[in-house]
Amino acid sequence: MPKPRIALTNLHDLSADFLSLTPVQKIGVAIQELLIEKGIIAPDELSQSINLIDTITPAQGSRVVARAWVDASFKERLLTDAVAACLELQIDIRPIHLIVIGNTSKIHNVIVCTLCSCYPRMLLGLPPDWYKSSAYRARVIHEPRTVLREFGTHLKEHAQITVHDSTADMRYMVLPIRPDNTDNMKEDELAELVTRDCMIGVKIPQLPSGFSTA
């Protein structure tokens, strides 16, 4: 059950959680208050920035994938220049440098940032804890099949796996394969099949009935 959003309209709201915090977490509140006192950050800037976090979802990424599924020439442009292709859909992710990697019948792709947690938030929403975890970062780079099985994803034996390590200035998104039996689905219905985990590469899009193709 999601927690009710805090109004964050005043300084009291911004520090409302203080008593429940650990010593390190309390330092964050202290830094917040000091930066506001010194005029480095305005309270409304901070509350807007905090509230913005709640609005980030994978919807934009899903839209991009769905468009690529229905429009082959858009897909080619997306794989060639992902930032420009996103702009066609009024999705402006600059200054992010994005590379979209397309899955094929032979190659499955999965994304990791072994050194930290680099990730295209504007398209995929907030990164889940597991993507940022030491275990994922340590393991998927050399045992992606085992990791994918832990996510319930079983690839065909002969499928090649490519792992992309987001070490520097690029950010990545996987373009999954369009599931079979979706010819009659509209673009927005197709977008609903595309989850964040499909665009990271640990899952494969499933039809609502649970039937999945790999």
Partner 1 sequence: MSSSAIGPHDLAGTLTDSINTKERELDLWEKRIDALYKLLSDDKRCHINIHEFRYAIESLGADAYTNHNYYERWTLALRNLLIDKNVLSELEITQKVQEIEDR
Partner 2 sequence: MNARPKFNKGDRVIVRMLSPQPHTRTPAYLHGKPGVIERFCGAFENPEERAIGRSGFPLTLLYRVRFFGSILFSTNKTCEADIVEVEIYEHWLQRDNSHAKT
Could you say which of 111, 147, 190, 193 contacts partner 1 (CB under 8 A)? 147
Between 31 and 107, name the residue whose CB sits nearer to partner 1.
31
Binding mask 170-199 for partner 1 (x = CB under 8 A): ------------------------------
According to the binding rule CB under 8 A, does residue 133 interact with partner 2?
no
| Binding site partner of 158, from partner 1, partner 2, none, Cβ cut-off 5-8 A by kind | none
According to the binding rule CB under 8 A, does residue 96 interact with partner 1?
no
Place of tokens 């499933």: 206
Single out the residue of 11, 117, 121, 111 nearest to residue 56, CA to CA: 121
Alpha helices (runs of H) in the chain, residue ranges in sequence order:
11-14, 23-37, 43-55, 59-70, 72-80, 82-88, 121-124, 129-132, 134-139, 144-150, 187-193, 196-200
| Binding site partner of 105, from partner 1, partner 2, none, Cβ cut-off 5-8 A by kind | none
Cα 24 to Cα 11, 27, 28, 29, 139: the distances in Å are 20, 5, 7, 9, 28
According to the binding rule CB under 8 A, does residue 33 interact with partner 2?
no
Between 117 and 212, name the residue whose CB sits nearer to partner 1.
117
The DSSP output letter for 32 is H
The least distance separating partner 1 from the CB of residue 201, rounded to whole angstroms, comes to 14
Could you say which of 120, 144, 201, 205 contacts partner 2 (CB under 8 A)? 144
| Binding site partner of 161, from partner 2, partner 1, none, Cβ cut-off 5-8 A by kind | partner 2
Q: Tell me whether residue 133 is one of the annotated catalytic residues.
A: no
Cα 59 to Cα 41, 91, 151: the distances in Å are 30, 11, 21
According to the binding rule CB under 8 A, does residue 181 interact with partner 2?
no
Single out the residue of 158, 136, 138, 132 nearest to residue 148, CA to CA: 136
| Binding site partner of 34, from partner 1, partner 2, none, Cβ cut-off 5-8 A by kind | partner 1
Q: Tell me whether residue 86 is one of the annotated catalytic residues.
A: no
